[in-house]
């Protein structure tokens, strides 16, 4: 099948979309963004057209090489397997396990609990404390883990998939007004990551669908 430029179905503020945007930027993959607004029109992720691409009704989804892939970590691992440079998983199996552990901690243990669809269920007045509780519980564990795995980044001194999960989750923590003082390692790594070009260009404040008042 003839494959054109990859298309990323993305929402500027979606932390899971940001993970993939960072991977695409780091690997120097040219792509187009198709914005999916998660609240406009009742949520464009619920349209029949988008559900045909991702039946989970979530962003991101990436159309690439003639396939459409949902789930940010599956997308990142596909990019890693097909475009291995620069690597986002270390060679050493123990370090690889640490990268996957941290990625899963964030992608399965924190983000889903504070995702839009869950927040809708808990009701307007409970949303902030609910999201804060989920993030604090995950960050308490993550800070301890990073104290033994981190170098400059989450695992040693190479940017890895774990870092692609960390920076977007810290942005969510800031959006939900979580006090980051108890997390010096998380904060230090996040600051280092945000200075990298790939994290900068893929940042929610610089996307085609970022509203004017949030652009920077």
Question: For binding to ligand GSH (CB under 6 A), which residues are involved?
Answer: 14-16, 38, 43, 45, 58-60, 71-73, 107, 115-117
CA distance 18 to 121: 24
Distance CA 157, CA 209 (A): 33
Shortest spacing between CB 102 and ligand GSH, in angstroms: 14
HSE-CB for 185 with a 13 A CA cutoff = 19
Smallest separation (angstroms) from ligand GSH to the CB of 207? 13
DSSP code of residue 154? S
β-bridge partners, 64: 67
Nearer of residues 116 and 156 to ligand GSH, judged by Cβ: 116
Between 115 and 190, name the residue whose CB sits nearer to ligand GSH.
Answer: 115
Q: Smaller CB distance to ligand GSH: residue 92 or 134?
A: 134
What distance in Å separates the CA atoms of residue 106 and residue 141, rounded to the nearest whole number? 10
- The answer to whether the peptide bond before residue 60 is cis (omega within 30 degrees of 0) is yes
For ligand GSH, give the closer residue by CB, 13 or 27.
13
- Minimum distance of ligand GSH from residue 14's CB (angstroms): 4
Local structure of 76: helix, strand or coil: helix
Please report how close the Cβ of residue 117 comes to ligand GSH at its closest, in angstroms: 3
- Residue (75 or 193) nearer to ligand GSH, CB: 75
| 3-state SS class at 117 | helix
Closest approach of ligand GSH to the CB of residue 20, in Å: 8
């Amino acid at each position: 099948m003839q494959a054109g430029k990859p298309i990323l179905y993305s929402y500027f503020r979606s932390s899971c979309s940001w993970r993939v945007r960072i991977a695409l930027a780091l690997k120097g993959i040219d792509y187009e963004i198709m914005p999916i607004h998660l609240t406009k029109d009742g949520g464009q992720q619920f349209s029949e057209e988008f559900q045909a691409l991702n039946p989970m009704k979530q962003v991101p989804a990436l159309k690439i090489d003639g396939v459409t892939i949902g789930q940010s970590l599956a997308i990142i691992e596909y990019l890693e397997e097909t475009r291995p440079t620069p690597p986002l998983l270390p060679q050493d199996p123990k370090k690889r396990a640490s990268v996957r552990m941290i990625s899963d901690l964030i992608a399965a243990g924190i983000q889903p609990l504070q995702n839009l669809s869950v927040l809708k269920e808990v009701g307007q007045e409970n949303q902030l404390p609910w999201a804060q509780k989920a993030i604090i519980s995950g960050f308490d564990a993550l800070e301890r883990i990073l104290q033994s795995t981190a170098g400059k980044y989450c695992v040693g001194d190479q940017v890895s998939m774990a870092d692609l999960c960390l920076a977007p989750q810290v942005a969510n923590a800031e959006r939900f007004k979580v006090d980051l003082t108890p997390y010096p390692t998380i904060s230090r790594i996040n600051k280092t990551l945000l200075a990298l070009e790939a994290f900068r260009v893929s940042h929610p404040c610089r996307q085609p669908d970022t509203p004017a008042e949030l652009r920077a």
